[in-house]
């Protein structure tokens, strides 16, 4: 029986595809690169890049497209593409704002994202979530981003909590691997339906009543 702990010292959220509907922005930019090289872009190709840093996604695309050595160039194209798409705005995903605010009223919260600071800030502000977080951590602010545990360990250290008594919310295998290596419990709402992902709790939306009830039982209820 998979479940989350009834109490936690902190909750750390991923951003893209979990709190904010930015995966569409990433998909448009990724699909354009694949199309430029005569390749389709579907679930198989998305699985190669989802949850990765811009740099790691560039390397993965370079390998898939047979452009070894061009990872940095493709990463630059990807960053520019996502930047343009995100400038059009991105909304909070269902249940995200309520869940963050309920958790925040009970325990420290933070964001740990594999996006660079520029894109992380843009996503949180666009979704109206920036003011809910005192602490957020971006991929370009650590030596080893996800799937390494450093982002989650840094978040927990800054919050002054034990990772083993904290909960991570994730949507991708890359992020899950990071949180698991750091020792956190893991709640998962997959961005790719049907993905077989490691988890302690698995759902289809942050708005699921059972999840919202879990957050309320942490002893919170005041909006930020």
Query: Where in the chain are the domains?
Result: 10-21+90-216, 23-86
φ, ψ for residue 45 (rounded to 5)? Answer: -70, -40
pLDDT digits (tens, 9 = 90+) for 136-189: 999 999 999 999 999 999 999 999 999 999 999 999 999 999 999 999 999 999
Long-range contacts of 199-203 (CB under 8 A, 24+ apart): 199/2, 200/2, 200/3, 200/4, 201/2, 201/3, 201/4, 202/2
Residue 93 C-alpha from the chain's centroid: 12
Residue 117 C-alpha from the chain's centroid: 13
Neighbours of 52 (CB within 10 A): 24
CATH classification (class only), 10-21+90-216: alpha beta
- Cβ atoms 177, 14 nearer than 8 A: no
Residues of the chain with pLDDT under 70: 1-2, 219-224
Q: Which residue is it, tokens 């902190």? A: 10
pTM above 0.85, yes or no: yes
For 49-75, the DSSP string reads HTT--HHHHHHHHHHHTT-TT-HHHHH
């Amino acid at each position: 029986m998979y479940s989350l702990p009834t109490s936690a010292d902190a909750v750390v959220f991923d951003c893209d595809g979990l709190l904010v509907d930015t995966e569409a922005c990433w998909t448009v930019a990724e699909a354009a690169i694949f199309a430029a090289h005569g390749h389709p872009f579907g679930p198989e190709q998305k699985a190669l890049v989802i949850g990765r840093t811009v740099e790691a996604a560039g390397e993965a695309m370079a390998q898939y497209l047979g452009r070894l050595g061009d990872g940095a160039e493709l990463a630059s194209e990807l960053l520019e593409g996502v930047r343009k798409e995100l400038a059009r705005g991105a909304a909070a995903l269902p249940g995200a704002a309520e869940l963050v605010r309920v958790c925040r009223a009970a325990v420290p919260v933070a964001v740990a994202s594999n996006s660079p600071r520029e894109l992380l800030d843009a996503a949180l502000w666009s979704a109206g979530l920036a003011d809910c977080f005192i602490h957020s951590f971006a991929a370009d602010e650590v030596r080893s981003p996800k799937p390494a545990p450093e982002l989650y360990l840094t978040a927990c250290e800054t919050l002054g909590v034990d990772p083993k008594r904290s909960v991570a919310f994730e949507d991708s295998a890359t992020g899950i691997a990071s949180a698991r290596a750091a020792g956190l419990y893991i709640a998962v709402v997959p961005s790719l339906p049907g993905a077989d992902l490691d988890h302690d709790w698995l759902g289809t939306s942050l708005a699921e009543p059972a999840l919202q009830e879990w957050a309320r039982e942490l002893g919170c209820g005041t909006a930020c």
